[in-house]
Amino acid sequence: MKLFLHFAVLGFSNTYLFGPEEGGDAILIDPGVMNIELLNLIENNKFYIKHILITHNHSTHMAGIQTLKKIYDFDIYSAKPSMISGNAIQLVDGKTFNLNGFDVTPISIEGPSLDTFIFKIKNMLFTGDVLAAGVIGPTPNHQARPALLEKIKEKVVKMEGNPLIFPGHGPPSTLESELQFNPYFNGQRQLQSSNH
Amino acid sequence: MFHAQTCCIEGCSHSAVSFRDTCFEHIEEKEKYLDELSIYFDSTDIIKNLNLTGVILKDRDLSGRKFYVCDFRGSQVEKSNLSKISMRLCFLTFSRFSDCNLNELDLKYTTWSGANMSDCDFTGSDLLHTNFNGIQTRNCSFNDSDLYFSTFINAKLEETTFRDCNLKKVNFCESERVNVDFKYSNYEEALFIEETIF
């Protein structure tokens, strides 16, 4: 299997591309932009984009879809089919599906937006805006931040196997590293729920 | 790295290294294994999808190699030449480096989180978009390097120099710095206090 990270300067976001070693049907995660560099990466590895996974509906994570549609014929997997101007296959929390021989488990974590999912594929966790190296994702307001942290603790922190973390922004990490060095998990930063 | 198998020794939960069915600790002839690795490294331009967790390298020359999606977690490297190495999507978390030449590295999208480094020289490197969270450094140099968008959150940096570096969007939040030199670098473009980054 081959895995590539494509960095989009617009939005400073990461797109992930992976597919078989010998080429063939490939998966894109969060195509924030479609440019000549990404096209060359796809074509030079003899990939054909067959599936696109969207973690959430921010443009920096899906703006490349319109251009990709003109080149490839693919399925889109997202929380809300209506977010894409076209059909998308709706994700169901915890319901694993198979793409190109890989089991993909979508995990719903509301926070960066109400329709946020992260994806677990083998020992890899594609976390979108939910979790990045040393930080947790942005939220629409301060009140949502403690809730996001609780969701991460509930659904990610207890995962076995020390998964590798591939975020939507910034460098990769591991769960073990985040538990030790992310200030939101090691007690350095406290988030208080506000009661109204 | 995507097909990691567990060491075949009963009771051992460590990953088996590439080309063996045991972890590095349980390899009986370690030097022979390392020599086989050297031969393999010499045979190809790009070294990819290797699992080398826990490997111990001493007095080795790996300069100029290109590593792609390799796993070096928990490895120990001592008195070795790793200059001009290129890495993409490699994991070196909780590794140990001592007295190593790491000049002119080309790193992108790699993770050195939790690594312990002493007497290491990264001078003249491109260390872009790389995770150095939680590293511990002593007597190290990152001089004349481009560290754009890398992170040093919760790093413990001692007697470490970052002279004439590009520190734009480098995150040093929660880091401890003792005798750290940022002279001639654009440290005002780095982050030392948490703010919305993206």
pLDDT (tens digit, 9 = 90+) per residue, B161-182? 999 999 999 999 999 999 999 9
- Cα B115 from Cα B100, distance rounded (Å): 13
pLDDT tens track for B109-118 = 999 999 999 9
Q: Closest residue of B to A142, CA-based?
A: B196
* Residue A144: pLDDT band with limits 50, 70, 90: confident
Name every chain A residue with its beta carbon within 8 A of the beta carbon of B4.
Answer: 123
- Based on C-alpha coordinates, what's the Rg of chain A? 16
Token pair recorded at residue A122:
């083998």
pLDDT given for residue A86 in this prediction: 60
Query: What is the residue-averaged pLDDT of chain B?
Result: 93
Question: Per-residue confidence at A138, pLDDT binned at 50, 70, 90?
Answer: confident
Show residues of chain A in contact with B198, CB under 8 Å: 11-13, 129, 132, 138, 169-170
Considering chain A, what percentage of its residues have pLDDT values greater than 70?
94
Copy the structure tokens of residue B48.
Answer: 């990819």
pTM above 0.90, yes or no: yes
> What would the two tokens of residue B146 be?
């481009």
**pLDDT above 70: residue A195:** no
For chain A, list residues whose CB is within 8 angstroms of any CB belonging to chain B.
1-5, 7, 11-13, 122-124, 129, 132-135, 138, 164, 169-174, 176-177, 180-183, 186, 188-189
Query: Nearest CA of chain B to the CA of A177: how many Å?
Result: 6
Distances (CA, A) of B180 to A169, B140, B157: 27, 10, 7
Question: From its phi and psi, is residue B15 left (phi > 0), alpha (psi between -120 and 50) or beta?
Answer: beta
What mean pLDDT do residues A60-72 have? 92
Are residues A183 and B174, on separate chains, in Cβ contact within 8 Å? yes
Please tell me which of A59-73, A143-157, B85-99 the model is most confident about, judged by mean pLDDT.
B85-99
Q: Return the pLDDT at A187.
A: 82
Please say if the pLDDT value at position A75 is more than 50: yes
A174 CB neighbours in chain B (<8 A) are 73, 91, 93, 111, 113
* ipTM exceeds 0.85: yes
End-to-end CA distance of chain B: 29
Q: How far apart are the two ends of chain A, measured CA to CA in Å?
A: 50
Cβ within 8 Å of residue B28, ≥6 positions away: none
- Quote the percentage of chain B above a pLDDT of 70: 96
Q: Apex CA B180: angle with CA B176 and CA B182, to 5°?
A: 120
Is residue B197 predicted with pLDDT exceeding 70? no
Please give the average per-residue pLDDT across A40-69, as a whole number: 93
Check pLDDT > 60 for residue A104: yes
Q: Do A133 and B111 touch (CB under 8 A)?
A: yes
